[in-house]
Amino acid sequence: MKIDYGPLEIQLGHFFSDRRLLGWALTHVSASTDRSISYERLEFLGDRVLGLIVAHMLFEAFPDQSEGELSRRLAALVRKESCAEAAQIWGVGPYIQLGEGEAQAGGSTKRAILGDVCEAIIGAVYLDGGIDAASKVVKKVFRDKMFSATADLRDGKTALQEWAQARRLPTPQYKLVLRGGPDHAPRFEIAVELPGFEPIIGVGGSKRAAEQAAATAFIKREKIDPQPNEKSVV
């Protein structure tokens, strides 16, 4: 059955030249025998495109904020929960193609799937129309979030530590990897380490900024919700 993507394209503000891209962005791996024809690869691309566009938006909107403040806003805006909300605004649920089991489990309403599809759609728009088209789509739905997304957001280190504690994991450790640059403009590279996870490095003009950058990068990589709603694992 041919799917009419017109109403969805109106919500997105982008009309695809190659609608196959949109179809792939809406196809869960459970509905495809070929992983290349599902949203996984587009999600990978869209995550990076979204991060770049939102970072640029924040850079222009908050000229007086520090790297750490911008990083916290970025983490709040590109987290899975925000992406899921964007997908709901677009009304993507009825368009998502799912395998029978996932469909019966209510996959089209799962926040994780909605968040993934949001990123995949952004990746599809980027491939179809370039960075300008992707920016238009992202700004339409994320611009208003810029000024409210961090109202309840804790700093990255606090969010990561509380997430680890809720799972009875050790406290994350921060280790200096490199200290470079001249005295008037130092550059610190610090790795955050947590047993069972690959270390990740953050960069900043101070140890504190580098630690926050590392924690924020860890949160983003592991797709942790940095909002204060974690529950202890029994």
**pLDDT tens by residue, 127-148:** 999 999 999 999 999 988 777 6
Q: Say whether both 132 and 177 belong to one domain.
A: no
In this prediction, residues 36-46 reach a mean pLDDT of 89
- For residue 151, what pLDDT is reported? 42
Neighbours of 45 (CB within 10 A): 17
User: Which of 43, 85, 102, 119 is the catalytic position?
Assistant: 119
Chain mean position to CA 54: 10
Q: Scanning the structure block, which residue is given the tokens 């996932």? A: 102
Does residue 118 sit in the same domain as residue 163?
no
| CATH assignment of the domain containing 102 | 1.10.1520.10
The total number of structural domains in the chain stands at 2
**Residues 209-230: what's their mean pLDDT?**
78
In a domain? residue 191: yes
Q: Are both 88 and 142 inside the same structural domain?
A: yes
* 137 & 39 share domain: yes
Task: Please indicate, yes or no, if residue 229 is contained in any of the structural domains.
Answer: no
Q: Is residue 119 annotated as part of the catalytic site, yes or no?
A: yes
From 210, 209, 156, select the one nearest 178 (Cα to Cα).
210
First to last CA, the chain: 46
Res 39: pLDDT: 92
Examine the domain organization and report whether 137 and 208 are in the same domain.
no
**Over the chain, what is the mean pLDDT?**
87
pLDDT at residue 206 in the model: 82
pTM: 0.66
Reading across the β-sheet that carries 200-204, which strands appear in turn? 173-180, 187-193, 200-204
Picking from 147, 176, 210, the residue at the C-terminal end of a domain is 147
Q: Cα–Cα distance between 81 and 215 in angstroms, integer?
A: 18
Examine the fold and report which residue of 94, 126, 147 is the final residue of a domain before the chain moves on: 147
Confidence of residue 230 (pLDDT cuts 50, 70, 90): very low
* Mean pLDDT in residue range 34-60: 91
Domain that holds residue 176: 156-221
Hey, what's the torsion of the CAs at 57, 60, 66, 70, to 10 degrees?
-10
Same domain, 110 and 140: yes
Taking residues 39-54, report their average pLDDT: 96
pLDDT at 36: 65
* Count of beta carbons in the 10 Å neighbourhood of residue 72: 24
pLDDT recorded at residue 130 = 98
What average pLDDT score do residues 95-124 get?
A: 91
Name the active-site residue from 43, 47, 128, 155. Answer: 47
Backbone angles phi, psi at 111, to 5 degrees: -60, -40
